[in-house]
Structure 1
Amino acid sequence: MKNALLFVLLFATLLPTVSPWGTIAYYHANKEYIARVLCENRDKPQLHCDGQCYLAKRLKAQQDKQDKETTQRVQNLPVLQLFCENSQPFTFEPASVESLLAGVPVYRFPSYVAPLVGLFRPPKV
C-alpha cells in the first residue's frame, strides 16, 4: 500500500516534466497517421515534414499552457512583507552627560595601581 502511494505521488510530482516526452512518444507511435491526416504540409511531400509541424505546434502549445499556469500561480501567491517603513522619522538629539547620569547611581572603586616594574621591561638581547 505504501509503495503504491509512493509511486502515485512520485508520478504526480514528475508529470509536468515528463509531459513533453509523452507528446513526443505519441508522435512517434502515430507518425504515419499524423503525416497522412494531421500534417499541414501533406500536400507538399518534397518538404519531408512527416508531421513535425504538428509535433512542434503541440509542444509549443504545451509550453505556453505551462507558462500561463506558472504565471497565474506566481501572481496568486500571497505577498509577505518582511520590512516596514517607520512612520516617524528618527531624529538624533545629543544629550549632555549630566542629564544621562542624573538618576543613575555612580559607583566608585578604590584606585588600584598595577606593578609596572615587572610588566614593562625591554627584552633582553
Structure 2
Amino acid sequence: MRTVLAYVLLIATLLPGFSQWGTIAYYHANKEYIAKVLCENRAKPELHCDGQCYLAKKLHAQQEQQDKATTERVQKTPDFQLFYQSGLPFSFPAMVPASATILPDYLLKSYLSPPSSRFQPPQV
C-alpha cells in the first residue's frame, strides 16, 4: 500500500513538468494531420511550417495556463507573521560602570589604526 501511494504521489508531482512533452509527442505523432488540417500556413508551402505554428500556439497556451495557476496559488497562500515588532524602538540603557577608565590618545591610536609595517603585500 505504501509503495502504491509513493508512486501515485511521485507521478502527481512530476506530471505538470511533462505536460509540454506530451504536447510535443502529440505533435510528432500527428504531424501530417496537423500540417494538412490545423496549420495556419498550409496555403503557403514555401514557409515549410508543417504545423509548427500550431505547436507553438499550444505550448504558449499551456505556459500561460501554468503561469496563471501559479500566480493564483501564490496569491491565495496565507501569510504567517513570525515576528512582532512593537511601535517603540528598543534601546539599550547606558551601562557604563563608574570605574571605567578611558585609554589615553596614544593607546587609542595604536589600537585603532591599521598595522602599517607588519602586513605588507608581497613585492613582485
Fold shared by both chains (TM-score > 0.5): yes
1:17 aligns with 2:17: yes
In the alignment, structure 1 segments of 5+ residues that lack a partner are: 98-125
The number of equivalent residue pairs is 98
Alpha-carbon offset, residue 93 of structure 1: 5.5
- Number of the residue aligned with 2:36: 36
Q: 1:31 to 1:94 in 2, by over 3 A?
A: closer
Determine the structure 1 residue equivalent to 2:116: none
Corresponding letter in the other structure for 2:23: T
- Higher Rg of the two aligned structures: 1
CA distance 1:78–1:44, change in 2 (3 Å):
same
Whole-Å separation in 2 of the counterparts to 1:67 and 1:20: 13
Q: Deviations over 1:18-62 (max 9, x none)?
A: 110000000011111100111000000110100000000000100
2:80 is aligned to 80
DSSP 3-state at the match of 2:86: coil
List gaps (5 residues or longer) in structure 2.
Answer: 98-124
Asked if 1:55 corresponds to 2:55, the answer is yes
Say what the alpha-carbon RMSD is for the aligned residues. 2.3
- Cα distance in 1 for partners of 2:91, 2:10 equals 57
Out of 66-75 and 81-90, give the one that drifted further.
81-90
Give the alignment's TM-score, normalised by structure 2.
Answer: 0.68
Does structure 1 residue 70 correspond to structure 2 residue 70? yes
Deviation at 1:10, TM superposition (A): 1.7
CA distance in 2, matches of 1:46, 1:5: 52
